């Protein structure tokens, strides 16, 4: 009948419209996704370019880490390297307590995706107070022999078992000559070092162990510009209990002239890894 024909035609028409909308929708969705992906790729490329350009304009940080063979060595270096991967304009100087470069550390560094220099020298820990004296001074020697005195660069000593906020590297780049900040879990305190500061100077310091030290600070709590190393070519770490303070003294720093741009937040912690008990 005519009614049946009309009904059948209407159903077919509706079906064709629905199918057409689905096809168009799928095509639009594919096109939209492709454009979104292209936009994301473009944004990524721009961001990468801008970050590279920004990195080239930043003062470079030379992070010095002494390391020695033990069960947790690579675990701690891995954890530290994961932080350093996010730091632009950074060069890692890893100095081993060893008679030669070990394959273990060399392989680790080659896979780290970091700019690095691999050094080695044997420490004489049994003969003195400081266990990593030679490795630290070996890194200072390398800097003086390989970095131009005019280079805008800052030196920061980083223990392989410490914990670092990315914000601390922003503070390091503000260093004009020598800069200090508080360190958490150091010297038997929740934080050690400057506790009050104003206009780039420390007004008050907090230290429990040997509070009369010239600069009562942990190794993770200071950085120095390379120009200061060249101004004091014989300045090195010496075998004394107040290792950090003695080194800063040899560079001409004291509590009054070392820069302190912030002292409110703790951005570096003197953490220590528990030695594992291996039973196999």
| Cα–Cα distance for residue pair 173/267, rounded to 1 Å | 14
* Per annotation, catalytic residue among 96, 171, 244, 259: 244
**Residue 162 contacts by C-beta under 8 Å, 6 or more apart in sequence?**
80, 220, 268, 269, 270, 271
196 is catalytic: no
Question: Is 161 part of any known ligand binding site?
Answer: yes
Query: What's the burial of 276, exposed, middle or buried (CB within 10 Å: 0-12/13-18/19+)?
Result: exposed
| Cα–Cα distance for residue pair 6/14, rounded to 1 Å | 12
Strands (E), the chain: 60-67, 90-97, 116-121, 153-157, 163-164, 178-180, 183-184, 191-198, 201-206, 222-225, 268-269
The alpha carbons of the chain give a radius of gyration, in whole angstroms, of 29
Q: Kind of pairing, strands 116-121 and 90-97?
A: parallel
Give the full edge-to-edge strand order of the sheet including 201-206: 163-164, 268-269, 183-184, 191-198, 201-206
| Cα–Cα distance for residue pair 232/253, rounded to 1 Å | 11
Give the residue ranges of the annotated binding site. Answer: 161
The catalytic residues are 244
């Amino acid at each position: 009948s005519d009614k049946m024909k009309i009904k059948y035609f209407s159903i077919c028409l509706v079906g064709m419209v629905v199918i057409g909308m689905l096809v168009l929708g799928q095509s639009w969705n594919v096109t939209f996704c492709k454009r979104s992906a292209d936009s994301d790729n473009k944004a990524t490329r721009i961001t990468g370019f801008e970050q590279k350009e920004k990195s080239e304009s930043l003062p470079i940080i030379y992070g010095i880490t002494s390391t020695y063979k033990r069960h947790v060595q690579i675990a701690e270096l891995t954890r530290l390297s994961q932080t350093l991967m996010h730091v632009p304009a950074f060069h890692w100087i890893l100095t081993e307590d060893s008679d030669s470069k070990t394959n273990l550390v060399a392989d680790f560094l080659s896979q780290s995706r970091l700019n690095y220099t691999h050094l080695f020298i044997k420490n004489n820990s049994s003969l003195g107070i400081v266990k990593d004296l030679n490795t630290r001074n070996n890194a200072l020697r390398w800097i003086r022999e390989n970095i131009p005195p005019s280079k805008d660069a800052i030196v920061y000593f980083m223990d392989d078992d410490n914990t670092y906020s990315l914000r601390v590297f922003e503070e390091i780049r503000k260093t004009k000559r020598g800069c200090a900040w508080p360190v958490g879990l150091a010297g038997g305190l929740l934080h050690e070092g400057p506790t009050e500061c104003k206009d780039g100077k420390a007004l008050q310091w907090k230290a429990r162990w040997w509070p009369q030290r010239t600069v009562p600070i942990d190794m993770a709590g200071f950085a120095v510009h390379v120009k200061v190393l060249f101004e004091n070519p014989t300045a090195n770490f010496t075998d004394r209990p107040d290792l950090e303070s003695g080194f800063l003294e040899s560079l001409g720093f004291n509590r009054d002239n070392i820069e302190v741009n912030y002292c409110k937040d703790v951005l570096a912690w003197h953490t220590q890894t528990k030695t594992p008990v291996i039973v196999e």
